[in-house]
Every structure is written in C-alpha cells, then in structure tokens.
A and B are shown apart, each in its own frame.
Chain A
Amino acid sequence: MASTDDSNKTSGTSAQLVLLVNQAKDGNRSAFARLIDQFQADVFRMVYYRIRSRADAEDIAQDVFLKAYQKISSIKDASRFRGWLFSITLNRIRDFQRKKRFRSLFKAEDENMESQPPLETGTDQPDALDHVLREDFWRQIRLILNKLSKMEREVFLLRFFDHLNINEIAGALKKNESTIKTHLYRALAKFKKEPEIRQLLKEVIQ
C-alpha cells in the first residue's frame, strides 16, 4: 500500500520534524532554516508541476516559506507541518494562477500556463535531446491531466507527483479523507479504463 509506505518513510524523521517545528515556533531561526532545507525542493517542484516556469516557481517558493515563517506559531499540531506547508503552497499557486488569468484579460497572451507550459532554457538543459524529451514528457502529462476533472487532477498530482498520503492531501485541500479517496478512485479508474489515457501513460513511461 503506497500511502502506508509513505507513512513509514516519513515516520523515522517525524520526531525530528516535530522538534524542529516546535523550535521554529519558539522563534528559533536556525530550526526554521533546517525546515527550509528539508522542504525547499518539494515545495519548488510542487509549484513547478503546476506553473512550469522556473522563475515563477522560485518566487512562489520564497513567498511560501516567508508566509510559513510568519504564521508558524499558528500550527497546533507540529506533526502536520508538511500538510500545512503544502496547503500554503497550493494557496499561493491558486493566487498566482488567478492573477495570471486576470492579467491575461488585458493582454493578448496565453491565459493558462498549464495548457501551454513554457519551456525553460536554463543551464539545466545539457543538450537538445534532453530538451526534446522534457518537452515531450510535459506535453503528454498535460494531455493526460486534461482528461481529469480539476479535483481529480489535483488529488492525483498530490498523491503521485508530490507523494503525499491521503491524510496529508485531505489536510492540504481541507477536505475529508473519503472525499479525497473518491476523487483519487475516479482519476485512477480513468487511467485504468480509458484507452486513450492508458496509451498516453504507456508512451510516457516508455
């Protein structure tokens, strides 16, 4: 069971995490810096999967940790820090996308980054082949995700891309676990039953 595996994976570090969160709540900056080290890559990727712009993902990640630092004393249960942090991240992503859509009303530019992800041309693209593979991968992922409803897509991304368990997803989306399971079930049923998605999935994995 994947969710149990994830729980086991994190259980070893959960006591340390709780300690760090409690220290950060007491105003310990170095404890918060260690939390940043631990979660920066996860938060950055979470944003990048949805925005697909490196610069914007960096900005949003910075904003997320600043917000987390300001509000960390409001966490009641330190063990829920990860879900809480991802909840802030999702809110920031939503804000960004909302502003982007609003700006697109006044500009003749693409209104949805998800439907037309810009490709990054940075130092992380060692060669043209990698660039093409990356472009092709994200194009196919976009096609797959477009087959899912908004909620199915979000739950699926959180479960299999961001590696959150059901409980953490429920916390991040502020829904109960059975709702999350229903959406995940529907998403997976499409993966299993719809030939077009199965074909895309096979192409991506190959």
Chain B
Amino acid sequence: MNLAKERHLDEQQLIQAVVDENDLPRSMQAHLVSCHQCRSSKVSFEQELGQLGQLAERYSPPPQRRITIPVHEARSSRGTFWNWRNAIAAAATVTAVLLVFWGTTSFRQPTEFKIAGTPSELMEAKRLMTEVNVLVENALPPLYLEITAEYEPDYDREFYQFLIPQTET
C-alpha cells in the first residue's frame, strides 16, 4: 500500500481515470482513493472539462417553442398503413401520367390521318397542287403572257431571223 502511495498516477493513467476509473489496474484504483494529490489532479481535470459543458449551457438560448404532437399523428402501428397509402398514391400518380401520355399520342395520330382521309379533301388537295405546279411553270397572268409571246408557239426560227437578221460574216 505504501509502495502504491509512492507511485503516483502518470498523465496517461490520469486521463484513463477520467475516462473510466474502473479501467485502471486495481493497485492504481486503490492509490487514487488514498492519494490526495492524484485525486485532486483528477478532479481538477474533470472540473475543467465540466466547466466547458456548464458554459455551453449558459451561452445557449433556452428553447422557446413548445413541442407539439398532432392529435391525429399516427403511432408506429399505423406506420405500415401510411406506407401503403404512400405506395397507393405513387401508383395512382404513375398511372395518371401513363394515361395522359397514352391519351396524347393516341389522339394525335387520328388527327393527322383525318387531314388526308376524306376523298373530297383529297380531290381538293390534288386540284390545288395542280394550280401550284402551273404557277411554278409560269407565274405570269394570261394578259402578260400574250405580251411576252409566251402564248404563240407558232413563231419559229425563220420569223425571228426575219425580225433580227444575222450579220453576214
């Protein structure tokens, strides 16, 4: 016992004592009980650390808002039910999105078909295309065509030679 009293706790053992005194060897535990110096070193270190906690508490605001638990809040036994409800909601959302997507695509196709579907509309389209092709050939109105002689295909090369004779070489 006297030997144990003489061997004071070193720094590592002092830290170990603060962490958990029971982890020290029995001889050191006994020394710590009897040695005023070692005990006061331990208590002093603990107090320093403890003061940090006290100051932290002092420099923290107290909670102001009261915690409220909703009356209808589900207990854990209803947790599965809520999970099911979420799953059903998710499935309904996915179905709705698919329906909207399918509806949009299926409505678009008949509309496009309808444009060229009716025989009378096809005839009208053909007539318009013919007019367009004529205009592509020559866009001038008939009056201007006469002036430009586009209407008289009988004027041949000889007539043009008569109008503008070639110079003799």
Contacts and interface: CB of A to CB of B under 8 A. Distances in A.
Interface of A: 1-4, 27, 29, 32-33, 36, 40-41, 44-45, 48-49, 54, 57-58, 61-62, 65-66, 69-74, 120, 122, 124, 133-134, 137-138, 141, 160-161, 163, 166, 181, 184-185, 188-189, 191-193, 201, 204-205
Contacts, number: 110
Contacts of A184: 19
A192 B15 CA distance: 8
A28 to B, nearest CB: 11
A137 B55 contact: yes
A195 to B, nearest CB: 14
A29 to B, nearest CB: 7
Interface of B: 11-12, 14-23, 45-46, 48-53, 55-57, 59-65, 67-69, 73-77, 79
10 contacts: A3-B20, A57-B63, A58-B65, A137-B56, A141-B52, A160-B50, A191-B49, A192-B45, A204-B51, A205-B51
A80 B85 CA distance: 32
Contact of B16 (A32, A66, A185): A185
A133 B15 contact: no
A77 B50 CA distance: 29
A40 B67 contact: yes
Given A32-B69, A49-B56, A193-B11, A122 B49 contact: no
Given A205-B48, A205-B52, A133 B63 contact: no
B59 A61 contact: no
A204 B73 contact: no
A45 B53 CA distance: 11
A54 B61 contact: yes
A120 B61 contact: yes
Given A161-B56, A185-B16, A62 B68 contact: yes
A189 B53 contact: no
A62 B67 contact: yes
Contact of A160 (B23, B52, B64, B77): B52
B61 A188 contact: no
Given A69-B75, A73-B77, A138-B59, A201 B48 contact: yes
Contacts of A48: 60-61
A70 B75 CA distance: 5
Contact of A204 (B55, B62, B74, B77): B55
Contacts of B64: 54, 58
B102 to A, nearest CB: 35
Given A163-B53, A204-B55, A40 B63 contact: yes
A74 B76 contact: yes
B63 A44 contact: yes
Contacts of A1: 17, 20-22
Among B16, B46, B56, which residue has the most Cβ atoms of chain A within 10 A?
Answer: B56
B129 to A, nearest CB: 56
A133 B21 CA distance: 35
A71 B82 CA distance: 13
B67 A185 contact: no
Contacts of A133: 59
B65 A62 contact: yes
A133 B63 CA distance: 20
Contacts of A72: 75-76
A73 B20 contact: no
Given A3-B20, A188-B15, A160 B60 contact: no
B52 A201 contact: yes
